Structure 1
């Protein structure tokens, strides 16, 4: 027991709840149960899948893989990953703001770096706290751009919003917060190694 306590103090890493020792059926202890292992792996699967969504969006917009971004229209070809979407915002109180920043160089760089950073961090399981903050901010901006509460667009056409409050942006944000709170990067990820780095031990917000 003293060895485990010394290790936690030295690394500054605290195991998530499902990996802590618990009483076994014979009065002994077991580090994990079958159910907790399944829960950890299920959460890791969702983490990696969510990260792939962001990483794929970056790659498609960067190289024009002819899915959401047509061939020859990628970022490397001179296309703007934000102009089409933001210039087409037609609902909500921030329309003029989004139209103003659409296609600007700094907007494109921030957006693409956010997609890349969030995607890589989630798939590798590192910096999940920082990712949760950055990801929630990005999802909040995209939610405001689509403005689900609107029933009609500026021109009067139906907005086709399926839910005025909770849409996929909110779900992604909640998922990233959950990954950070449960140290989901320690299963099928580099979260444990990341937490042992001196710079991370000294700055808890980097975990």
Structure 2
């Protein structure tokens, strides 16, 4: 009698298609999708493209006033006082643009993760009380994805993260990675 025959229920994947080599592409896809969400939000609020903004910042419409002036919940007073202020509009628009550019290009992901998480926490606070879930909404999912793509160096795949990481200033200050 010879050695028992082994039975494979799943074929062995080729070496070039293992999970370890595919994971960077999954992180890059998440990075690009999230980058488009922020880039679109910036463009729509800047130009009033109608999804959902019908008039834009360039037309003189405050990107923060419509949303913040209708906030309810525990932080209503704070957000109402911020609605339409120039510093809020500028900070919000530069934050959206910076996040969109960083994520789409795959550069500065650590700063994008930190700043984006702060922005998303503020947007979450402005959304309270939540209507469909006791505490979880897309703001926390986006923040988790921001942190994960920075941690995974997702800008190195389908992005400029590799060359960006070799710049002297970025090597000197890894937070810029």
Query: Does TM-score exceed 0.5, indicating one fold?
Result: yes
Runs of 4+ with >3 A deviation = none
The whole-number CA distance in structure 1 between the counterparts of 2:112 and 2:38 is 12
In the alignment, structure 2 segments of 5+ residues that lack a partner are: 1-14
Match of residue 49 from structure 1: 33
Q: Deviations over 1:51-84 (max 9, x none)?
A: 00000000001001112111xx200000000000
The whole-number CA distance in structure 1 between the counterparts of 2:97 and 2:49 is 16
Q: Deviations over 1:9-41 (max 9, x none)?
A: xxxxxxxxxxxxxxxxxxxxx8x7632222111
The whole-number CA distance in structure 2 between the counterparts of 1:184 and 1:57 is 22
The RMSD of aligned alpha carbons is 1.5
Match of residue 74 from structure 1: 56
Q: 1:132 aligns with which of 113, 116, 139?
A: 113
The whole-number CA distance in structure 2 between the counterparts of 1:84 and 1:123 is 27
Q: 2:140 aligns with which of 146, 163, 170?
A: 170
Q: 2:80 aligns with which of 84, 99, 110?
A: 99
Q: CA deviation at 1:165?
A: 1.5
Match of residue 155 from structure 1: none
Q: Secondary structure at the match of 2:169?
A: helix
For residues 147-158 of structure 1, what are the structure 2 equivalents within 5 Å?
Answer: 147=128, 150=129
TM-score by structure 2 length? 0.89
Q: Conserved in 1, the CA contact under 8 Å of 2:47 and 2:59?
A: yes
The whole-number CA distance in structure 2 between the counterparts of 1:96 and 1:35 is 49
Match of residue 3 from structure 2: none
TM-score by structure 1 length? 0.76
The whole-number CA distance in structure 1 between the counterparts of 2:111 and 2:20 is 25
